[in-house]
Homo-oligomer: A and B are copies of this chain.
Amino acid sequence: MAKRLVPLLNRVLVERIVPPSKTTTGILLPEKSAKLNSGKVVAVGPGTRDKEGSFIPATVKEGDTVLLPEYGGTEVKLGDKEYYLYRDEDILGTLHD
């Protein structure tokens, strides 16, 4: 059973971050508090190809925390873990503290 996926072209493999329902001190967070559709970049493809066929690298890199679009994303199950494949140009931005 395959454990690792190397995305092709400008695809990006992301592990979704499930927003905590409680604060670190255990207080229940209100249902409607800001829920960011975000994730961690696990693997990145070589990028898109220019006219001569060389690769233009993706704009995100492994380890980035990224803001994901509301729709899209192809579900990929590797072993018992769930990931999602996005196209680099569909990822909205990188998130920072």
Contacts and interface: CB of A to CB of B under 8 A. Distances in A.
Nearest to A94: B6
Interface residues of A, number: 46
B85 A5 contact: no
Nearest to A47: B53
Chain A contact residues, majority secondary structure: loop
Contacts of A92: 5, 7-8, 11, 74, 76, 85
A52 B50 contact: yes
Interface of A: 1-9, 11, 13, 34-36, 38, 45-47, 49-53, 56-57, 59-60, 65, 67, 69-70, 74, 76-80, 85, 89, 91-97
A19 B54 CA distance: 35
